[in-house]
């Protein structure tokens, strides 16, 4: 599979690059960004942190705002950030043009409902296609961690819980912890997956954690207590309750005064990178 490079910039003696490629999962052109730490310049292969962004974001938001490169360079970790949905003229969007469904809001599921089932196969893209592409074309190992924010926090925890053998650790900032019981999740899951709510639970981190049989995957979640979306959309207590029920090794930290923004993420991203580094 060919990759077209869109940009390249040296940063902290490593390289930030953007690429596009034709995806077999989403049947359209996809973009991703990658940070390659300085260790790769000498041929060393490094582990990868996959970062999933939130509603309205692209592959650019985390790379530009999170301030992760200095610590990733120090630790020798590559970071890969995909786009949050398929895009293009033929890709279906929300008829009302809202921000929380359609373009920029793929929710990291495999859609089953027309017309979204033609392109919105973000689960397969993130779990299989993108890592295969990265490991084929870049100097990385098959050691993977996964993290994300908001909708991407939902994606990172859900994907890790469903594929614990593929990741050494998982983390999240302000995740949508119980999407089957919040407005964002209910709208997206109905549109992408249909009216059968039993089909939704396979993409709900709290539901997955309740019945998780693999209790070996370390998981760190940070949530700001001044987040405007805390009670209605994010519902972190459901994740805590699920972890207690199943005795899952979850660490969830409520951070006083922090909101939903990248100011919050940039404050704690180095701690998350060190967390993941311990388990590579």
Catalytic residues: 150, 227, 260
Pairing of strands 169-173, 140-148: parallel
Maximum alpha-carbon separation in the chain: 52
Alpha carbon distance 4, 273 (integer Å): 28
Alpha carbon distance 140, 155 (integer Å): 22
Residue from 78, 192, 200 nearest 146 by CA:
78
3-class SS at 9? Answer: strand
Alpha carbon distance 14, 123 (integer Å): 29
The DSSP symbol for 126 reads I
Residue from 188, 233, 240 nearest 219 by CA:
240
């Amino acid at each position: 599979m060919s990759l077209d490079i869109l940009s390249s910039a040296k940063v902290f003696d490593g390289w930030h690059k953007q690429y596009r490629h034709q995806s077999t999962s989403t049947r359209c052109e996809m973009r991703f960004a990658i940070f390659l730490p300085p260790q790769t310049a000498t041929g060393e292969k490094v582990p990868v942190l996959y970062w999933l962004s939130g509603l309205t974001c692209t592959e650019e938001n985390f790379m530009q705002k999170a301030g992760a490169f200095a610590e990733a360079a120090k630790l020798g970790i590559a970071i890969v950030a995909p786009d949050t949905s398929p895009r293009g003229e033929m890709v279906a969007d929300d008829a009302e043009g809202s921000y929380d469904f359609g373009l920029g809001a793929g929710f990291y599921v495999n859609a089953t409902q027309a017309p979204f089932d033609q392109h919105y196969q973000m689960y397969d893209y993130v779990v299989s296609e993108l890592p295969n592409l990265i490991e084929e074309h870049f100097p990385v190992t098959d050691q993977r961690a996964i993290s994300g924010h908001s909708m991407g926090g939902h994606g990172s925890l859900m994907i890790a819980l469903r594929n614990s053998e593929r990741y050494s650790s998982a983390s999240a900032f302000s995740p949508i912890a119980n999407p089957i019981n919040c407005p964002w999740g209910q709208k997206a899951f109905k549109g992408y997956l249909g009216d059968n709510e039993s089909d939704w639970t396979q993409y709900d981190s709290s539901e997955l954690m309740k019945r998780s049989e693999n209790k070996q995957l370390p998981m760190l979640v940070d949530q700001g207590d001044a987040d405007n979306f805390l009670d209605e959309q994010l519902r972190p207590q459901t994740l805590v309750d699920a972890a207690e029920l199943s005795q899952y090794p979850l660490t969830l930290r409520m951070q006083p005064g922090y909101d939903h923004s990248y100011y919050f993420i940039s404050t704690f991203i180095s701690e998350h990178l060190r967390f993941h580094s311990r388990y590579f």
